[in-house]
Amino acid sequence: MPPSSAALLRWYDRHRRTLPWRALPGRTVDPYHVWLSEIMLQQTTVAAVIPYYHRFLDLFPAVGDLARTESDTVMAAWAGLGYYARARNLHACARAVAAAGGFPRDMAGLLALPGVGTYTAAAIAAIAFGQPVVPVDGNVERVTSRLFALTDPLPGSRKTIARHAATLNDSAEARARPSDFAQALFDLGAGICTPRQPACALCPWRESCAGLRQGIAASLPAKAPRTARRVRHGAHFLLTDAGGQILLRRRPEKGLLGGMLELPGTEWRPAPWREAEALAFAPARADWRAAGRITHVFTHFTLHVDVYAAHVGHFPNTIARIGGMAVPHADLDTLALPSLMRKCVAAAWPERAT
């Protein structure tokens, strides 16, 4: 028996989550709101996104406002949310959309936008424009793999899962409500068909779930073992002056933490840095002291950072050579400083409660 779209939509009508980017039943949504939330929600929890979403709409009420804003301001507003390529693409996308006079309504047009891939294009098409497509995110992959008892491991099974997911809206009920149907799948995955200990007894699709029938639902989707996380080491320097300024520099536009600010420092390498070795990279001659040590976990490696601190009357003229910039430490909270660097500052300067 195929899963009943009507049953899922009935369940959704009773249990749908209220979320800031979600329209009330019967109301239309602003494509800008849908797009902004979808970009923020990529690999990011709802709880983490909500405050950023509100702040962005306060700062940039419409896509044109975002398009007109300087890159630095956008990056600063995104600071702490992670995956900073999203913020760069968000800005580029806003400019493209503003120039075009609005968001494209079809999959091909959406897919052409920077930062918009298969999933996000489908989500915007379904939620903002009512197109009968099924966006396949992690939730939908989990629901689908369990529903059809697809046991091949991710990521290899991705195409097979997507093929099955695309059949989920093969009904008049689903096609009449593409936006609700897509979000019903998200809510089902987030609230019932959860990664661990799914609440199958409460599931509107329990009667048709092959994974449940076979007793393997909780173990799906299977995943290929991931490679061990590497370790890297670095040293960064907190230099302050008598004027209450702190020395920062900008990271390259591409790559890790691209376009964000940082404390000057060494490269990050597999071997630890001895103190004398690290100090050769200090941004100025000064009385450096070992001020703290932090560990920061990225997706693909763990970073150990030694933080050195020093205070000088005024920054040397040579800081321009390393691309250094002096900023009042009171402004730190408003700058494009990633969490890693905030952690470094806090470790070396605990009195400076932010």
For the annotated catalytic residues, the residue numbers are: 38
Query: In whole angstroms, how close is the CB of 195 to DNA at the nearest point?
Result: 4
Query: In whole angstroms, how close is the CB of 340 to DNA at the nearest point?
Result: 4
Query: In whole angstroms, how close is the CB of 282 to DNA at the nearest point?
Result: 23
Query: In whole angstroms, how close is the CB of 328 to DNA at the nearest point?
Result: 21
Q: How far is Cα 141 from Cα 135, in angstroms, rounded to an integer?
A: 10
Give whichever of 218 and 312 is closer to DNA, judged by the CB atom. 218
Q: How far is Cα 314 from Cα 299, in angstroms, rounded to an integer?
A: 38
Phi, psi for 248 (deg, rounded to 5): -125, 170
Rg (CA), the chain: 24
Query: In whole angstroms, how close is the CB of 47 to DNA at the nearest point?
Result: 6
Give whichever of 227 and 317 is closer to DNA, judged by the CB atom. 227
Q: For the chain, where are the E strands, in sequence order?
A: 230-241, 245-250, 261-262, 289-297, 301-312, 324-328
Give whichever of 214 and 354 is closer to DNA, judged by the CB atom. 354
Ordered alpha helix ranges (H), 4-155: 5-15, 31-41, 46-59, 63-68, 71-78, 85-100, 107-111, 118-129, 138-147
CB-based burial, 130-152: b 16+ in 10 Å, e otherwise: ebebbbbbebbbbbbbbbbebee
- In what helix (H) or strand (E) does residue 208 lie, and over which residues does it extend? none
Residue type present at position 234: G
The tokens 């995955």 sit on which residue? 189
Residue type present at position 68: R
Give whichever of 180 and 306 is closer to DNA, judged by the CB atom. 180
Q: Which of 182, 155, 188, 179 is nearest to 166 (CA)?
A: 182
The tokens 């098409």 sit on which residue? 125
Give whichever of 219 and 318 is closer to DNA, judged by the CB atom. 219
Phi, psi for 236 (deg, rounded to 5): -130, 155
Give whichever of 61 and 195 is closer to DNA, judged by the CB atom. 195
The DSSP 8-state label assigned to residue 223 in this structure reads B
Query: In whole angstroms, how close is the CB of 139 to DNA at the nearest point?
Result: 4
Query: In whole angstroms, how close is the CB of 335 to DNA at the nearest point?
Result: 12
CA 130 remoteness from chain centre: 25
CA 135 remoteness from chain centre: 17
Residue type present at position 142: R
What is the contact surface with DNA in residues (CB under 7 A)? Answer: 19, 21-22, 37-38, 41-48, 80-85, 89, 114-121, 123, 137-139, 142, 155-156, 183, 186, 189-190, 195-196, 223, 226-227, 229, 255-258, 296-300, 338-340
CA 247 remoteness from chain centre: 28
**Are 213 and 220 spatial neighbours (Cβ–Cβ below 8 Å)?**
no
Give whichever of 20 and 244 is closer to DNA, judged by the CB atom. 20
